[in-house]
Amino acid sequence: AAVPLVPLARPALAQTKLAALDIPSLAMPSLGAFPSPVIKEKGFDKANGLDVTFQPKAAGIYRSDFASGASPLGGSGSLLIDVGLVSEKGAKIIYLFNINDYWGTVAVPGASAIKTLKDLSGKKLAAALPTSNYAIFRYFAKLSGLDLSTVEVMNTSSTALVPMMVSGRVDGVQLWEPAYSILASKGDYRALDFIGLWRESNKVAAMPYQGIAAHEGWVKANPQLIPRLYAMYAQAADFIESSPDEAGSIIAKASKTDPQTMADLIRSKRLGFNMYWAGEQRAATEAMFRAALEIGFLKDMPAPDVLFDKPV
C-alpha cells in the first residue's frame, strides 16, 4: 500500500522540543533491528517529535535488561518471550503494538528430496533451540504431523547455522530472516513453506510475533509518546515496503550486507511487516499464546491486559 510520505518537518511539531528516547533493540542483522537505520536515515523520529537513540544489544542482554526493568521500553519485543514469559514471572509487561508477523522456515538444498516438514523425519536439522522462532517452529511441526523426536536436531549458535548448512553437515536448517535470504543468495537453497497452516487451523489472518513492549510504569508515565512511537514505526514500515531499493541499501549499509539481497528480501514480504495495536488483534494474539501453551513454552495464559488497546 503506497501511503503518502509524511513531510519531513511538520511546522507544528518542529516548534515543540523533541522528546529524547532510548530504545534498546536487538543488533543487526536481526529482524527487530531493520527499521532502526531507516528511521534515523529518513528522520522519522524527528518527524514525530522524538529524538530516538537506538541501543543495539545482544539477545541475552536485551532480554535481561528489559526483564529487570533496567530498560523499561523494548524496541524488539518478542510477544512470546518478552511479554509472555516475563509476565509469567510476575512483572507487568504491556505489548503495545505489533510490527512484524512471524516468519520462519526450514532451508534445504535445492536438489534435496525434502519437500514438506514430514520429510524431515530421520534427517539432520540444525537449529538455534533457545529462540522463540524455533519454539513457534515446534508448533508448526506438530501441526504438520512431524514428530521432532524422529529428527536429529542439532542445537547451533545462531551464527553457526549457515556454516553448518553450507558445509553440508546437515540436511536442513531452521532459519529466519535475513539469514535465509543471505543463504539463498549464496547458493541453491529453497525454503519449506508451512506458514499457511496457521490460518487454516486458527482461522485468523495475523500472526503476531514481534513489536514494541514496555513495562506498565513506563506506559502509565508516557501515554503521549505511545502514538508517536506507533506513527514513527508505521512510517518506517511503509517506507521499507514501498521503496525496497532505497530501504534495502540503507539496511545493507547498516548491516554490512548486500543491498540487492536486502531489496529482494523486502519485496519477498518474508519480513512480515504488519502493524497493528495489540488490542486490535486479540484473537490472533490469544491463538499465539495458546500455541505456546500447547508446546509447553508458556505455562499460563497471560492476562488479557498485557495487550495495549488503540488509544482514543
Partner 1 sequence: MAVPRALRERWRSQSALVLDLVLIAVVWQVSTYFLPPIVAPGLSAIGRALLDIFIEPDLRIHLIYTSLRVLVSLLGAFIIGTAVGLMMGGSDWFRDYMRPLLNLMQGIPALSWIVFAVIWFTEVEVRIAFIILMVTIPTFALQVDSAVRGVNLDFIQLAQAFRASRMQRYAMVLLPAIVPAIISVWSVNLGNAIRVAVVAELIGATTGVGFQLLNAQAVLDMAAAIAWTLSLVLVLFFYQGIIMMIERRLLAWRPKGEQA
Closer of 226 and 254 to partner 1 (Cβ): 254
Closer of 61 and 204 to partner 1 (Cβ): 61
**CB of residue 220 vs partner 1: minimum separation in angstroms?**
18
Residues 175-204 that bind partner 1 (CB under 8 A): 178-179, 182-183, 186-187
Residues pairing with 105 in the sheet: 175
264 binding partner 1? (CB under 8 A): no
Q: Could you tell me if 103 and 176 are in contact, meaning their C-beta atoms sit under 8 angstroms apart?
A: yes
Return d(Cα 276, Cα 216) in angstroms, integer: 19
Of residues 157, 188, 196, 303, which one binds partner 1 by CB under 8 A?
Answer: 157
Contact mark string toward partner 1, 208..247, x via CB under 8 A:
----------------------------------------
CA 193 to chain centre: 18
166 binding partner 1? (CB under 8 A): yes
Of residues 14, 20, 70, 221, which one binds partner 1 by CB under 8 A?
Answer: 70
Contact mark string toward partner 1, 18..37, x via CB under 8 A:
---------xxx--------
Contact mark string toward partner 1, 129..148, x via CB under 8 A:
xxx-----------------
Span of 14-22, 167-175, 227-235, 275-283 interacting with partner 1 by CB under 8 A: 167-175
Question: How many other β-carbons are positioned within 10 Å of the β-carbon of residue 266?
Answer: 24
How many binding residues for partner 1 (CB under 8 A)? 52
Span of 13-21, 42-50, 78-86, 285-293 interacting with partner 1 by CB under 8 A: 78-86
Of residues 60, 122, 196, 223, which one binds partner 1 by CB under 8 A?
Answer: 60
Closer of 24 and 244 to partner 1 (Cβ): 24
Question: How many other β-carbons are positioned within 10 Å of the β-carbon of residue 158?
Answer: 16
Span of 49-57, 106-114, 242-250, 265-273 interacting with partner 1 by CB under 8 A: 49-57
Closer of 65 and 119 to partner 1 (Cβ): 65
63 binding partner 1? (CB under 8 A): yes
- Longest alpha-carbon distance in the chain: 64
The grid coordinates of residue 270 equal 518474508
Residues pairing with 59 in the sheet: none
Closer of 48 and 133 to partner 1 (Cβ): 133
Which residues form the interface with partner 1 (CB under 8 A)? Answer: 27-29, 55-61, 63-65, 67-70, 81, 85-86, 89-91, 126, 129-131, 153-160, 162-164, 166-169, 178-179, 182-183, 186-187, 255-257, 297
